[in-house]
Amino acid sequence: MTADPVALARDLLRCPSVTPAEGGALAYIERVLQGAGFEVHRVTFEEAGTDPVENLYARIGTAAPHLMFAGHTDVVPPGDESRWSHPPFASEIDKGVLYGRGAVDMKGSIACKIAATLDHLAANDGRPNGSISFLITGDEEGIAVNGTVKLLQWAAARGEKFDHAILGEPTNPEKLGDMIKIGRRGSQNGVLIVTGTQGHVAYPELADNPVRGLVTLIGAINAEPLDNGTAHFGPSNLEFTSIDIGNKTVNLIPAEARARFNIRFNETRTREELRAEVERRTAKAAGNAVRWNIEWEPSNADVFITMPGPFVEMMSRAVTEVTGIVPKLSTTGGTSDARFIKDYCPVIEFGLLSQQMHKVDEHVATADLVALTAIYRHILERYFSSPA
Ligand SMILES: [Zn+2]
C-alpha cells in the first residue's frame, strides 16, 4: 500500500498552526515519522522579546549520504475567515482541489515529502541506503529567529552532518514543474537621512531644506545600475520604498528628511562592497552642500547559489520524468530559510505552485500533491542509488 499525500496534507491542514502556535502539526509529524522508524526530537527555542517556538528534527539511518528535507509547518493568519469559500482549517476537498491555509505554503509539500519517504522506506526494507532527515520549523512566517537558524545550530552541535537539502517552498509560478530555485539574492535595508535647518517656508534663506538634498541624493544613487547581473542572477537592484518627513505644517521647512531603501543583490556583490558603493555615490552627489548619513540595518539575508551539477540535475530530471516539463533554474523571489541552510550543505528549493501562497482560499490540486510525491520519490530512489 502506498502512502497517501492527500490524507497527510488534510491532517496537517486541520492544525491551526499560525506562527508561533504549534497547532498540533509537529505532534502529527512526530507520530507519523516515529511510526516509520525515525528518531524524532522536538525542540523549543526562545530568546528575550520573542515567543518560544517549537521545532522538529527527525532522522532515519546513520550513514552517509544524508539528505535533509526542510520546511515549516507554521502558516500566516487566514485573515477575514468569512471571505474563504471553504474554512481555512477545515481541510475540505471540492472538485479535486484541497482548500486550507498552508495548502501550498507549505504543509502540502511536507505531506508529499513524508509520503515519498514512507514509500521509499517500504520499498527498501524500512531503511534508506544512507540517512534521511526532516528539519521542520514553526518559525518561518514570523521573525524567524527561533526556527531554522537555531535548529541547524542545535543539529550541528549534536554532530549532524548534511550532504544535501531540499526545501519545499512553493517555487512554481504556473504549473508544477516550472521552476527549481537554486539560489536567492541577498537583501540589505538602509535609511538615507538628510539633515537641514528648520525654518519658516516664506524665509527659505534662513533655513536649509533637507527635502532638496534628499531628492538630489536619491536621484544620484539611482542614476546608474548597480551591475548587469550574471548567468544565474538578475542585476542587483536598489529600490527606494518610502520617503519619510512627517511634516504636517504647511509653512514649516522641516529639519530632517529620510528615505528607506532595500537592495537585492547577486553573487558578484558583497554587502560591504554595496554599502561602500552607495555611500560613494551619495558623497559625490552631496559634496559640501548636503549633510547626510546612512543607517544600515543588520541583515542575515546573504546571497547564495547552489551551482548546477549532479544534485540539481537529479532534481531536474525527476521533475521532467513526472511532469514532462524541463524546469527553469531560478534565483528569483524573496528570501527563504534556504539562506540559513546553505551554510551547512548545498540546498535547492522545489515545492508546489506559488500563486496561492498567503491568499484567501489558499488551495492545491490533489493531483499536484500526487505528482510532487512522485517527484520526491524519484529523487530518493536516485539519491540513494547514486549519491550526487
Ligand atoms: Zn513558506
**Res. 386: pLDDT tops 80:** no
Per-residue pLDDT at 142: 81
CB atoms within 10 A of CB 343: 13
pLDDT at 112 over 90: yes
CA 272, chain centre distance (Å): 23
Q: How far apart are CA 330 and CA 317, in angstroms?
A: 16
> Distance from the CA of 191 to the center of ligand 1, in angstroms?
28
What is the band of 189 on the pLDDT scale with cuts at 50, 70, 90? very high
Rounded to the nearest angstrom, the distance between the alpha carbon of 74 and the centre of ligand 1 is 8
**Sole residue written with cell 504549534:** 22
CA-to-CA distance for 79 and 70, rounded, in angstroms? 26
Ligand 1 geometric centre to CA of 324 (Å): 25
256 is catalytic: no
pLDDT in tens, 46-62: 999 889 999 999 999 99
Count Cβ atoms within 10 A of the Cβ of residue 291 and give its class: 0-12 exposed, 13-18 middle, 19 or more buried.
Answer: middle
Give the number of other Cβ atoms within 10 Å of residue 308's Cβ: 15
Q: Output the pLDDT for position 299.
A: 82
Q: What is the pLDDT of residue 388?
A: 55
pTM score: 0.89
Each residue's pLDDT tens digit, 139-168: 998 878 899 999 999 999 999 999 999 999
Task: Clarify whether 224 is annotated catalytic.
Answer: no
Q: Ligand 1 centre from 254 Cα, in Å?
A: 42
Instruction: Give the rounded distance of the alpha carbon of 72 from its chain centre.
Output: 10
Q: What would the pLDDT profile of 252-268 be if each residue is shown by its tens digit?
A: 999 999 999 999 999 99
Q: How far is the CA of 338 from the centre of ligand 1 (A)?
A: 11
Q: Give 102 Cα–ligand 1 centroid separation in angstroms.
A: 8
Distance CA 276, CA 164 (A): 34
- DSSP assignment of 196-235: -B-EETT-GGGSB-HHHHHHHHHHHHTSS-S----SSS--
Q: What is d(CA 58, CA 30) in angstroms, rounded to the nearest whole number? A: 8
- How many whole angstroms separate alpha carbon 97 and alpha carbon 115? 18
pLDDT number for residue 301: 85
Question: What average pLDDT score do residues 17-27 get?
Answer: 97
| 268 Cα to the center of ligand 1, angstroms | 27
> Residue 56 pairs with which residues in a beta bridge?
42, 136
CB-CB contact of 58 with 125 (8 Å): no
Q: Mean pLDDT, to the nearest integer, of 166-184?
A: 97
Q: What is the pLDDT of residues 60-100, one digit of tens each?
A: 999 999 999 999 999 999 999 999 999 999 999 999 999 99
Grid coordinates 534521511 are at which residue? 132
Overall average pLDDT of the 1-27 stretch? 96
- From the candidates 22, 140, 256, 362, give the one annotated as an active-site residue: 140
- Triad 63, 71, 135: Cα angle to 5°: 35
Computed over every residue of the chain, the mean pLDDT equals 96
Q: Which of 174-178, 296-300, 361-365 comes out lowest in average pLDDT?
A: 296-300
Active-site residue (options: 11, 22, 54, 74): 74
Query: Strand ranges (DSSP E) for 84-157?
Result: 93-94, 97-99, 131-137
Q: Residue 300's pLDDT is what?
A: 75
In this prediction, residue 387 carries a pLDDT of 54
Find, among 129, 170, 136, 154, the residue nearest to 58 by Cα.
136
Using the mean position of ligand 1's atoms as its centre, give its distance from the Cα of residue 305 in Å.
Answer: 19
How many angstroms does the Cα of residue 144 sit away from the middle of ligand 1? 11
Q: Which pLDDT value is given to residue 144?
A: 81
Centroid of ligand 1 to alpha carbon of 56 (angstroms): 16
Q: How much is the pLDDT for 278?
A: 98
